[in-house]
Amino acid sequence: MPAKPATKNVIVELDGDEMTRVMWKMVKETLLAPFIDMKIEYYDLGLEHREKTGDKVTVDSANAILKHGVGVKCATITPNAERVKEYKLTQEWKSPNGTIRAILDGTVFRRPIMVRNITPTVRTWKKPIIVGRHAYGDVYRDVEYKVTVPAKAELVVTGADGTELSRQVVHQFKGGGVLLAMHNLDASIASFAKACFEYALDQKIDLWFGAKDTISKTYDVRFKDIFEQVFAKEYKAKFDAAGIQFSYTLIDDTVARVMRSEGNILWACKNYDGDVLSDMVASAFGSLAMMTSVLVSPQGCMEFEAAHGTVQRHYYKHLKGEPTSTNSMALIFAWTGGLRKRGELDGTPEVAAFADAVDKAALATVEKGVMTGDLARLAEPKAANVCGTGEFIAEIASTLRGIWK
């Protein structure tokens, strides 16, 4: 084994709930602690502790990520009525991811982990396609109305001083119908654009953005214009230096190009497009357990996590003492994503090299046919060894010992 590397600056660690909390601990103890010294600032976002702190811990953790630049997060429960009973909560605490995303003003990028023995449904896809979804406005914050009698619908805009700025007839209804109004904000679109440019630069991959500007000549054109302005002003030179490109096309063309591409692109999507298309891309790449997720702020602060939840069903089996076969790949890649970023920011290549080695060990383990049940259902050729939860992590550690020397 090489001399134990150490992180120079802090990684913010956000612990979580249920099966992912169990695996999180295993990953730290088996795969990280024996090999690397990490400077950690720990926040327990487990539901009990969020309750105890009145959710202050979530806000504190987000501010810590802004301060230190790098965070890694375990999956957390977003409480609903059942969870309120189960955990005897004083209230239905908000989604931690929502709280953190709002504080970081961040954009979420989902990135699949690819292995040779699981083939994407789309034959041409050889490399990851990363989807970035704008998470503000549009149809998610719309105002809707159901028309039931003959009526005139107008879009009226009134200035702060009461002056009418615009009045347009949307439709003259003769009978029943529906209508909606939606909005977005220049500042939010610009933050989204910056997060996309930052992440493309970080990953050194091309950025594609598509919208329906030919039909939506004000709304979608605004998105196109802001992306192009931010790019020209702040990123063109950096992209040239990195040898990567930004391209805007009509969303129809973007979809067609993505389907034919090899991958290795960052696809920036408007809110609704991202909601729908990220699920399509994810399922075409295989398993939810093989999807990682990075939250990127416009300043380039990053929080790494698995895209899946706390795997509640497996946790209840685990509590009953029954064997589980839960996949820790995305949690492991969350840690290595954080370590690699920390290494890059601190100028400690040995830390980034260790992160690469762990990724390599995890991929090699699955590629030699050693995997959890969710992957065994997809793998071709068939799995040689279907592992339990802890066994899988131990197998990766043993592969790691073989290559980290």
Given candidates 194, 308, 318, 341, which one binds ligand NAP under the rule CB under 6 A?
308
Taking the complex as a whole, how short is the minimal distance between the CB of residue 109 and Mg ion, in angstroms?
Answer: 15
Contact partner at residue 76 from ligand NAP, Mg ion, none, CB < 5 to 8 Å by partner kind = ligand NAP
Position among 97, 184, 203, 336 found at the interface with ligand NAP (CB under 6 A): 97
Question: Counting contacts by CB under 6 A, is residue 77 touching ligand NAP?
Answer: yes
- Which of 310, 336, 348, 399 binds ligand NAP (CB under 6 A)? It is 310
Nearer to Mg ion, 254 or 365 (CB): 254
Instruction: Examine residue 62 and tell whether it contacts ligand NAP (CB under 6 A).
Output: no
Segment lying near ligand NAP (by CB under 6 A), choices 2-10, 256-264, 269-277, 310-318: 310-318
Q: Cβ closer to ligand NAP: 307 or 351?
A: 307
Residues 323-342 that bind ligand NAP (CB under 6 A): 326-327
Say whether residue 283 binds Mg ion (CB under 5 A).
Answer: no
- 374 is an interface residue for ligand NAP by CB under 6 A: yes
Minimum CB–partner distance for residue 192 and Mg ion (Å):
17
SS3 for the chain, per residue?
CCCCCECCCCEEEEECCHHHHHHHHHHHHHHHCCCCECCEEEEECCHHHHHHCCCHHHHHHHHHHHHHCEEEECCCCCCCHHHHHHCCCCCCCCCHHHHHHHHHCCEEEEEECCCCCCCCCCCCCCCCEEEEECCCCHHHHCEEEEECCCEEEEEEEECCCCCEEEEEEEEEECCCEEEEECCCCHHHHHHHHHHHHHHHHHHCCEEEEEECCCCCCCHHHHHHHHHHHHHHHHHHHHHHHHCCCEEEEEHHHHHHHHHHCCCCEEEEECHHHHHHHHHHHHHHHCCHHHEEEEEECCCCCEEEEECCCCCHHHHHHHHCCCCCCCCCHHHHHHHHHHHHHHHHHHCCHHHHHHHHHHHHHHHHHHHCCEECHHHHCCCCCCCCEECCHHHHHHHHHHHHHHHCC
Binding of residue 78 to ligand NAP (CB under 6 A): yes
Nearer Cβ to ligand NAP, position 5 or 46?
A: 46
Residue 234 touches Mg ion, criterion: CB under 5 A = no
Please give the residue ranges that form the binding site for ligand NAP (CB under 6 A): 75-78, 97, 288-289, 305, 308-313, 326-327, 374
